[in-house]
Amino acid sequence: MEALLKLEKVQRVLSLMGSRGLSGSGSDSGASDGGGGDRFLAHFLLFLVQPFDSLSMEKKALLVSDLLRKVNVDTLEEVRHLGSIECTSGEGRIIPASTSDQDISLGDPLQPNKKLKLHAEKLTVQEAPMVGFHAMRRANSTIEDFCRSYFMFHGLDVNKAQSIFKFLPVLCFTESYIYQLDDLNEYNLQMVPGNDASLTVLERENRTSNEASLTGMLNVLDDLLQRQGLMTDQLRNELKSGIQYWSLERKLCQALSRNDKISIEDVMEAIHLKSFDYRVLNLLMYRLTGQQVNEVHMEFLSISEFLVEISDDLYDYEDDVMNNTFNILRMFAAIYGPSEAPKMLAKCIGEAEEKYERFSKKLDPTLSGSYWRRCEEATKEGGKMSGHAYGTWNIPPLIRDEEFFRLERSNKRDASAITIT
């Protein structure tokens, strides 16, 4: 996840530079480089604040200021030449840095350090997937719900600690990693509220980089699970469903921001894909327990996931409008209009409930009853008053002008913050 962390840090520094008038884009060195000058300066500032021996930031600033007055292009060329000639191995041998099969990478001093490990008596660079604390916190409630709702389908007792902790490292890491990718996708949504033509070169470049990073970072997770002997074609397809969902979410939410037309086919595909992480975790459980995938269970749970996603969207409707994230009620309102949207969504819910009832009869009665009770528990714990098997559905009043709603709520928050201060 180094690319994600780097992108977040650089973007924050770029914003700070703009607010402090430190941008180099107005100078000859940065005006025509597509924002490259500003990015270089942002990387340089991040490098300066890294700890180095006992030097304070004030001391480092003075040293750099004094050095830059003396350095010219010729000096830099000499340094570049020295840096490209050689490095020394642990055995004292000189290894040409230009050798194509070199084992030691000097790396970019302005980039995060890569993890090195000893393998086959050689130092090699290892790209290791990592998760952050924020992602783990977000994933925590999902992991708890998954264990309490899905372990019963694997013949496991969630009340026994060993049942959870035996599988927790894989489940927690995978879900946290997915949440980090979801954070990156939501960053894309917030960064691009309107038409592409309104974006700066740097914003367009960052968005393209972010979208490519999602696929690249998911491939890293794929590789990790493959090396653990957990990957299957079915699991890989579910992971790819995540990329499909994020792509559809960006497409639909950006279309809403521009008042462009959206299709019901895209909306229904997105709501079905939205629970891909639960299916990923469930397929991992089959591998971890050495069982064959039970397709009847998977299909039943897929219908349940669909209804749960709708219930969550109704509960989170206003927050999703504020954050410009996917919400089925937002989409139905855009397609059918405020008066017809609740009716069409109610019809969709009714059809799914009928399908749920049919498939629940295919389950073992004990399992079906246990899952029904778990659904009721989850609803009460979440404080929701709507949802399948949890009582009546409650569709909230539709927001007719989302932009005005966001502005009004933001003003209220600002006013509240001033009052508290």
In this predicted structure, which of 30-39, 92-101, 129-138, 179-188 has the lowest mean pLDDT?
A: 92-101
Q: What is the DSSP string of 264-320?
A: HHHHHHHHHHTTHHHHHHHHHHHHHHT----HHHHHHHHHHHHHHHHHHHHHTHHHH
DSSP 190: H
Report if residue 63 sits inside a domain. no
* Cα angle: 256, vertex 261, 264; to 5 degrees: 95
DSSP 395: P
Q: Are residues 288 and 144 in the same domain?
A: yes
Q: Are residues 118 and 185 in the same domain?
A: no
How many CB atoms are closer than 10 A to CB 146?
Answer: 19
Last residue of a domain, one of 100, 128, 156: 128
- Please tell me the predicted confidence (pLDDT) of residue 329: 97
Q: Are residues 148 and 186 in the same domain?
A: yes
| Domains in the chain, number | 3
Enter the tokens of residue 264.
């019901």
Mean pLDDT to the nearest integer, 13-38:
63
Residue with tokens 């340089």: 44
Q: Are residues 94 and 180 in the same domain?
A: no
- Name the residue among 175, 232, 240 with its Cα closest to residue 214: 240
Q: Are residues 114 and 238 in the same domain?
A: no
- Name the residue among 270, 269, 281, 326 with its Cα closest to residue 178: 281
Q: Are residues 297 and 199 in the same domain?
A: yes
- Please tell me the predicted confidence (pLDDT) of residue 185: 81
Q: Decide: 250 and 193 in contact? Cβ < 8 Å.
A: no
Q: Decide: 252 and 326 in contact? Cβ < 8 Å.
A: yes
Of the chain, the percentage scoring pLDDT greater than 90 comes to: 49
Q: Is the pLDDT of residue 4 over 80?
A: no
Q: Are residues 104 and 202 in the same domain?
A: no
Q: Are residues 339 and 381 in the same domain?
A: yes
- Please tell me the predicted confidence (pLDDT) of residue 419: 63
Say how far apart CA 13 and CA 58 lie, in whole Å: 18
Q: Is the pLDDT of residue 112 over 50?
A: no
Enter the tokens of residue 310.
């709708």
Beta bridge partners of 94: 88
Last residue of a domain, one of 67, 97, 128: 128
Q: Decide: 298 and 279 in contact? Cβ < 8 Å.
A: yes
- Please tell me the predicted confidence (pLDDT) of residue 97: 43
Q: Are residues 147 and 124 in the same domain?
A: no
Q: In this structure, what is the dihedral angle of CA atoms 227, 230, 233, 238, given to the nearest 10 degrees? A: -110
Report if residue 112 sits inside a domain. yes
pLDDT-based confidence at residue 28 (cuts at 50, 70, 90): very low
In this predicted structure, which of 140-149, 272-281, 315-324, 382-391 has the lowest mean pLDDT?
A: 382-391
pLDDT-based confidence at residue 2 (cuts at 50, 70, 90): low
How many CB atoms are closer than 10 A to CB 396?
Answer: 13
38-82 pLDDT, tens digit per residue, is 778 878 888 888 887 777 777 888 888 888 888 877 777 777 766
pLDDT-based confidence at residue 35 (cuts at 50, 70, 90): low
Q: How far apart are the first and last CA of the chain?
A: 37
More confident residue, 153 or 388: 153
- Name the residue among 324, 351, 315, 72 with its Cα closest to residue 189: 324
- Please tell me the predicted confidence (pLDDT) of residue 116: 35
Last residue of a domain, one of 97, 128, 159: 128
Q: Are residues 254 and 390 in the same domain?
A: yes
Q: Are residues 150 and 117 in the same domain?
A: no
Report if residue 74 sits inside a domain. no
Q: Is the pLDDT of residue 109 over 60?
A: no
Report if residue 201 sits inside a domain. yes
- Please tell me the predicted confidence (pLDDT) of residue 200: 47
Report if residue 75 sits inside a domain. no
- Name the residue among 252, 270, 242, 253 with its Cα closest to residue 177: 242
Amino acid in position 30: G
Report if residue 188 sits inside a domain. yes
Enter the tokens of residue 417.
């913050």
Q: Is the pLDDT of residue 206 over 90?
A: no
Mean pLDDT to the nearest integer, 146-155:
97
Say how far apart CA 277 and CA 178 lie, in whole Å: 7
Domain residues for the domain of 20 are 1-25+35-48
Q: What does DSSP say about strands 115-119 and 94-96: parallel, antiparallel, or unpaired?
A: unpaired
Report if residue 360 sits inside a domain. yes
Q: Are residues 143 and 106 in the same domain?
A: no
Q: Is the pLDDT of residue 94 over 80?
A: no
Report if residue 297 sits inside a domain. yes
326-369 pLDDT, tens digit per residue, is 999 999 999 999 999 999 999 999 999 999 999 999 999 999 99
